[in-house]
Amino acid sequence: MLDFVGKKVTHCDGLSRRGFLQAGAMGLGGLTLADLLCAEESAGIGSSKKAVINIHLDGGPPQMDMIDPKPEAPAEIRGEFTSLRSKIPGVHLTELMPQVAAMADQFTFIRSLVGSAGRHDGFQCQSGYNIKDLSGIGGRPALGCVVDKLKGGTGEAPAFVDLMQGRPLARNSARVGFLGPAYKPFRPDISHLFKRELESGMKGELTRLGGNHQVSLKLLPDLQAERLDDRVGLLRSFDSIRRRADSTPMIDALDRFNQQALGILLSGKFGEALDLEKEDSKVLARYTPRHKEMGERFTTADGYNASRKLLLARRLIEAGVRVVSVSFSDFDTHRRNFSRMRHLVPVVDHALATLVSDLHERGMLDDVTIVAWGEFGRSPKVNKDGGRDHWPRVSPAILAGGGMNVGQVIGATDKHSGEATARPVHYQDVMATLYQNLGLPPRATTITDITGRPQYLCDTGRPIRELVG
């Protein structure tokens, strides 16, 4: 068994990584900027370009209205949408996804995702586990938190950035679990970039986090770039941050925040990644669907320009972030499923197609794994309100990139898209595939929980053989 936990890494100053972090927690007065950077370089931070963009389709995406249409089913099952041919011979998608259909050879469509806990919570899409698993010791950590623990950030950027917005439970899905507060994701408030205002739950969370959590991902006032040459002043600033953190639960994360703040200070890459005004106008336009919003209004979605979230994700990956979580809302369509999907699915279609094309053109696609999925699927039969209800028995997932074997469909459902009839794929299997693509074999890598017991990244899941061999 390969165990990454506690692995000793000797830095250029003779300190182990653990020793380096302990020194940082006592204050930076004894370490020069060169020492800090040298330690980061020796630790191999930023040496891997492998990354994941995890897209949560918040609320439960309707499988039959997206990637598993049933045109021969009765009207109360098939719904209002027709199907169209994709670039994969014999494979049809919904009429609402023409762009993805036209380049379906760049995607894999899982029609038989099983194992949903049936909760309105993105936790399984963040960890692969039921939220109750290991709850007695804090619960399972999200993938991004695990990657942060095992690989760390790049020095210029944190390992994990959570851009999820929408309903509170989805927004809170990237839980740190038994790893503790030092490995919380960075959660920027990106509400100013989109016309939909944050829900009260999201606002409440940001308030609770307060100033001791790097919510905005902007440099703290104490860390202005013009002070870079003022070594004494810079170290004094870090000491000030340390003193503020002494009275908070975030003290364990202080040393990591210090390193990340320094990276931002020196390069500016990470801070600029969140500024879409820095992006070429043609690229920004490319990520914006040519639709007019009219009729049905979104409840928690951000409108048609929500596709720009994936542009933010790409920019963050370029800046060195290893895992980015994004959400699209609202797929919770108990009422007016079809009018709402006519607005929402084309946004997702455009966003996915544009992201894959963009990554390919930049030579990044083989390094970046993309997954789009939700907490469960939708009921085959349309209810009396024209909606589809919760359906944990089977759900859809779309994958791309990561050097995987794409251009295929995995699994199948019955004639009503209600049960998996071939090749069931569990949430843990998808998560195991993501870990594998990040260079972390899920059954050969462990993390130690708070009791000292090693835990596999995925205790039952296996990388999907059709994708990674």
pLDDT at 20: 37
- pLDDT > 80? residue 96: yes
More confident residue, 37 or 97: 97
- Give domain limits for the chain: 1-44+229-267, 49-217+274-468
- pLDDT > 60? residue 43: no
The pLDDT of 309-336, averaged and rounded, is 93
pLDDT at 325: 96
- What is the C-alpha to C-alpha distance for residues 191 and 206, in angstroms, rounded to an integer? 12
- pLDDT > 50? residue 154: yes
Q: Which residue has the tokens 């994958």?
A: 399
The pLDDT of 419-436, averaged and rounded, is 98
| Extended strands (E) in 350-451 | 368-373, 377-378, 390-391, 395-401, 408-410, 412-413, 420-422, 425-426, 446-448
Q: Which residue has the tokens 């972090």?
A: 21
pLDDT at 156: 73
Phi-psi domain of 337 (left: phi exceeds 0; alpha: psi -120 through 50; beta: other): alpha
CATH class, domain 49-217+274-468, is alpha beta
- pLDDT > 80? residue 5: no
Reduce the DSSP state of residue 7 to 3 states and report it.
Answer: coil
- pTM for this prediction: 0.81
More confident residue, 465 or 174: 465
Question: Per-residue confidence at 32, pLDDT binned at 50, 70, 90?
Answer: very low
Q: What is the mean pLDDT of the chain?
A: 80
- What is the C-alpha to C-alpha distance for residues 85 and 71, in angstroms, rounded to an integer? 12
Question: Per-residue confidence at 265, pLDDT binned at 50, 70, 90?
Answer: low
- pLDDT > 60? residue 391: yes
| 18-42 burial code (b ≥16 CB/10 A, e <16) | ebbbebbbeebeebeeebbbebbeb
